[in-house]
Amino acid sequence: MSVGFIGAGQLAHALVKGFTAAGVIAANRITASSPDTDLPTVSGLQKMGVNFTTSNKEATHKSDVLFLAVKPHIIPFVLDEIGPDIEDRHLIVSCAAGVTISSIEKKLLQYRAAPKVMRCMTNTPVVVREGATVYATGSHAEVEDGKLLEQLMASVGFCTEVEEDLIDAVTGLSGSGPAYAFTALDALADGGVKMGLPRRLAVRLGAQALLGAAKMLLDSEQHPGQLKDNVCSPGGATIHALHFLESGGFRSLLINAVEASCIRTRELQFLADQEKISPAAIKKTTLDKVLQQPGVSSTSDATKSSVNLFNNRTGVKK
């Protein structure tokens, strides 16, 4: 089995690192593509032994499972580009926040009778094999396709199937979650430094405390509130600290964060549902690089509407 990544940024890099560390697939069976070779993650991918190419079509040809690891607004553009190259064997796995299975299937049905599509939401800790992933299966993908994806993603963390309409909420919670944690860790370390600890030790202790607590929770049947109670001895230091957190509406800020991320995901979904990509969303140099790839035609239905604005200047019509 070969795996491909359209997109060679943070997500592709993190997944490849996790997969190869887990030994679930060999690096030489992985291809990643991007017209942009300047991304810092590109050299990382190459160092891991992945085949890197500037041609998305080449990544498609070389893969059985094809991850779409580009930003949501790029998805329609990419689908039009690789649509003609999709075969029956391909399993398309979109990781783009807010991009619905039906929007992807709708595009691909122009090229193929029964495109196998899955949608997943994962997060960057896949890079250390402690990711959180959920997925939903499209109408033409089989149960075995879901199991295959689950096998891949479970090698790098927690993975479970969900109803597609829960994925935006998952984005707000575990998709964005690591960023909430990094912010918290930075602040906890500041607190430690304020009270006299050296920075390195403060960062280390803060991260270790969060990791240990999260592991306790995952390994326990108990409610987080019960575990919190167990740490708060009467009149002790911890309950004094918790009072400050509650007074400042700590809990509410986190609820707000999950909500804000989820709502923005739904907004992105709306933008991605548009079938034409605005020329304002792509750099002309990037578009040129794509058009220069073998097999890409500026007159194909695909790029026609997107490239109308550029017709005069690109002149690389085949």
Residues 22-51 close enough to bind a second copy by CB under 8 A = none
Among 8, 82, 93, 169, which residue interacts with a second copy (rule: CB under 8 A)? 169
Amino acid type, 87: E
Position 312 contacts a second copy (CB under 8 A): no
Q: Smallest distance from the beta carbon of 10 to a second copy, in angstroms?
A: 6
Q: Smallest distance from the beta carbon of 153 to a second copy, in angstroms?
A: 12
CB closer to a second copy, 48 vs 232? 232
Is 297 assigned to a binding site? no
Q: Smallest distance from the beta carbon of 251 to a second copy, in angstroms?
A: 4
Site for a second copy in 234-293 (CB under 8 A): 234, 236-238, 240-245, 248-265, 268
Query: Mask 64-103, x = binds a second copy (CB under 8 A)?
Result: -------x-------------------------xx-----
CB closer to a second copy, 1 vs 179? 179
Kindly list the distances between the CA atom of residue 32 and the CA atoms of 58, 116, 251, 252, in Å, as whole numbers in the listed order: 9, 20, 40, 40
Is 69 assigned to a binding site? yes
CB closer to a second copy, 245 vs 316? 245
Q: Smallest distance from the beta carbon of 317 to a second copy, in angstroms?
A: 32
Site for a second copy in 197-226 (CB under 8 A): 197, 201-219, 223-225
Among 29, 106, 140, 228, which residue interacts with a second copy (rule: CB under 8 A)? 228
Q: For a second copy, which stretch binds (CB under 8 A), given 54-62, 107-115, 142-150, 159-167?
A: 159-167
Q: Binding site: residue ranges? A: 6-11, 34, 56, 69-72, 95-97
